[in-house]
Amino acid sequence: MSEWRNLTSVEAAERARLLDVSSYDITLDLTDGSGGPGAGTFRSTTRVSFGCSEPGTSTFIELAAARVRSARLGGVGLDTSAWSARAGLVLPRLAAENRLVIDADFAYSTSGQGLHRGVDPVDGEVYLYTQFEIADAQRVFACFDQPDLKAAYAWHVLVPAPWTVVSNAPVERVEPGRVPGTKTVHFGASVRMSTYVTALCAGPYHEVSEHHDGIRLGLFIRDSMRRHLDADELFLITRQGFDFFHRQFGPRYPLPKYDQVFVPEFNGAAMENFGCVTLGEEYFIFRSRVTDFEHEKRANHILHELAHMWFGNLVTMRWWEDLWLKEAFADWAAYWCSASNTRFTDAWTTFLSIRKNWGYRQDQLSSTHPVHSRMPDVDSVEANFDAITYAKGASVIKQLVAYLGTDAFLTGLRAYLSAHSEGNATFDDLLTALERASGTGLREFAAQWLETAQVNTLRPAVSVTADGRYESVAIEQEAPAEHPTLRAHRVAIGLYDVDGRRLRRRERVELVVTGRRTAVPGLVGVPAADLLLVNDDDLTYAKVRLDPRSLATVLDRLPGLESSLARALCWAACWDLTRDAELPAREFVRLVCTALPSETDINLITSALRQVQAAIDQSTLRQVQTVLDHYADPAWAPIGRRRIAEAALAALTVPPAGRPSEMPPAGRSSDMTAAGRPSEVTAAGPTARRDGGRRLAWARAFVCAARAPAELAVLRGWLAGDGVPDGLAVDTELRWAIVSALVAEGAAGTEEIDAELARDRTASGERAAATARALIPTPESKELTWRRLVGEDLPNWLRRALLCGFYHPSQLALTRPYVPAYFAAIGPFWNTHDNQAGQEFVVSGYPTIHVEQSVVDATDAWLADPGRPGPVRRLVGDGRDNQLRAMAARARDAAGR
């Protein structure tokens, strides 16, 4: 799929055996020759110094350039006639010590990979940033683009004089450029690092900085977004992260500065470039009021990237099969730090309700794989940036900490980080360090949890005597036939009794579950509880079931549980029961309507509302299946949607609950700059309110559920400022959600979209308007949107916006004709686009919303061709799995309770 070389693990191992790369010296010209920003292509000159253990042999260097001007090895010109971006450049007859100089032109990107170039619609300014993971550094400079050939980097960058330039190392000096209005920024040499975590950001970025513990902390953002930069909270989380990780990890952060650059049009959430982290501006800079869920999510991502400075950057995996060594560890460390050293003390509840559920969902697809997976080549890596690598991997690490004890685990971890500092390591290196520190063998644990796939189900088997005591209690462990591994699970069983309006834990029993059935003799003769909760305290990675009495208690009395973690476990159990067609979808909706309005944890509110119905979410393109859109009987779903709308409106009238937030109040909410121009500064500032954003969460739920004329009239009133519930601010992002909801139902059109865009002519506004136009419910609109998706070379932000708006549950008749068109378009799209774009189209273009046998049949026909590329077969196969799951859940719901 990629136009660049698909490096194999065998090639990488051989090249690493031969070469020792010491340094890169890179000069970029990012100007247009007359002092302005460049466009189209930029000039890059790379000087690489490296040794060769077998002089006289040959190797190759990656060079995904548009044009090679010259190449010299040891002062001798190289023949570049055989060079291509896919093959790279052959380096013949290497000496013991080599100096390579390559002068080439490279293309700017609008795909979010390589050197991305974006133009701010507010002021026309150009902003650049790099994104090199997995192997896109070769799109900016010539390099040996694999993680175990680390080197030091020095950048020299010619830019327009007003620009700010940020890289991994601090700026060493700045000199005037030869052309008036330009300057050359010279960076000092970096520490040794892998190619994929080198970075460069350039443009008129606004900067805020402070110092902490000897480290300069920098925040950078587009000038038109500067008023939204809540630097106090961002710095606070960063400081808390540094203090915690320095106490826990042993080696100190090795750089003198740590910059976080909020960049536009970013494909993912963030990237851990060493000392120059890039974060998606649209996800983490809040233009409007948000809930505390968004604040915690942002804090977690900040801490995740900071943890990468140790796991991934200081110590890097040798090859991509150990991808989890950085991602799972960063995920675990971020939640650990959040719960231990920030105001988000219930972070492990969030981990269960959001992250772990993501892992369970991914692990049940046919594409599931072990946490520690073989990666034969670079092209196979991209699809493994998934919930198994992140969430399941972090879950297993959490279990491992409990298994070994925190002290022994940290002793081994510190030894691992110290032994491999600035180098590369493997899974075996980590296991060895942990075994030495703990005196405990871990090979069996690793084999069970890291080298096998899928998730077990733990089901209580309970018998109660006539006088209400347990006659027998056992835990039955299940595994799917395709992945029959039965693991050892350390679990707690909590016994909860109804006490007035509360459910209080009477007893807790801890044991190890092994094999198909594990008896719990300690509960024989004990009075039966109203709720028997398997995996209380969330000690293991497994789906859990509820016995009939416990399920009835949960459905009627869930709010009575005092622990947010216990409530999260019950929500997760009911969600899994619904997805597995064991609980009718309408029962889950009933639970949401009765239990969620009194819920105080904003993360549980957010999770459950997302599970019951889908909202248009620009932060993700994953088509997550929901109860009302996929699992409910279509004949009953409108009733369920009305009930959610009614519950949402009722919840909006309840006074805010909970302690006052520590966050400052929201800032100004002007749509215009002082100069009278549209600005990104609509409703700035941190916004955690007294209720943690509970009102806003329910308002979003109502917007998503609104279908009836009366409900749509309420939304129109909110846009006009009429009938807005007390405490709810209908600001920029909520206004766009309302406009999109009205457009999708035919209650608004291009006039309303254009009017809203006039209020918000910003990059975010352009994205939202593009999504809203794709939602227009006419055949002409869908045809235009589809034609643009498959026929135009769109920038990443626009393609994603159109994908977000193409499908809608109210528009099934309009999009059903595109089911065959999707399958016909997969191959051509995959072959002509970057990895990220290809994956987004295959996943988000799949007709998940059409829960029909015809879609399964079309999928089977497509998969029947053995020539389909492996990565795309995997993604399409996941779509098929989701269809079968939804069909089974709908049948269960139609059959009733």
Q: Which residues are catalytic?
A: 305
**CA–CA separation, 158 vs 258, rounded Å?**
23
Residue 6: is it exposed, middle or buried by C-beta count within 10 angstroms (0-12/13-18/19+)? Answer: middle
100 close to 90: Cβ distance less than 8 angstroms:
no
Task: State CA 169 to chain mean position distance.
Answer: 27
Q: Phi/psi at 337 (nearest 5 deg)?
A: -65, -45
220 close to 128: Cβ distance less than 8 angstroms:
no
61 close to 143: Cβ distance less than 8 angstroms:
yes
* Structure tokens, 153: 């980097």
Listed in order, strand segments (DSSP E) in 239-375 are 257-263, 270-271, 276-280, 315-317
Do β-strands 19-29 and 89-91 pair in parallel, antiparallel, or remain unpaired?
Answer: unpaired
**DSSP line for 378-410:** GGGTGGGSSHIIIIIHHHHHHHHHHHH-HHHHH
H-only helix segments in 309-356: 324-341, 347-350
* Structure tokens, 141: 């400079």
Identify the residue whose tokens are 């995920």: 331
* Structure tokens, 864: 């029947």
416 close to 429: Cβ distance less than 8 angstroms:
yes
Identify the residue whose tokens are 């691992």: 416
Helix axis angle, 835-845 to 870-895, nearest 10°: 20
Residue 713: is it exposed, middle or buried by C-beta count within 10 angstroms (0-12/13-18/19+)? Answer: middle
585 close to 893: Cβ distance less than 8 angstroms:
yes
Assign residue 593 a region: left if phi > 0, alpha if psi is -120 to 50, beta otherwise? alpha
Half-sphere exposure of 501 (CA within 13 A, CB side): 3
Q: Phi/psi at 186 (nearest 5 deg)?
A: -105, 125
Q: List 270's β-bridge partners, or say none.
A: 279
Distance, first Cα to last Cα, the chain: 47
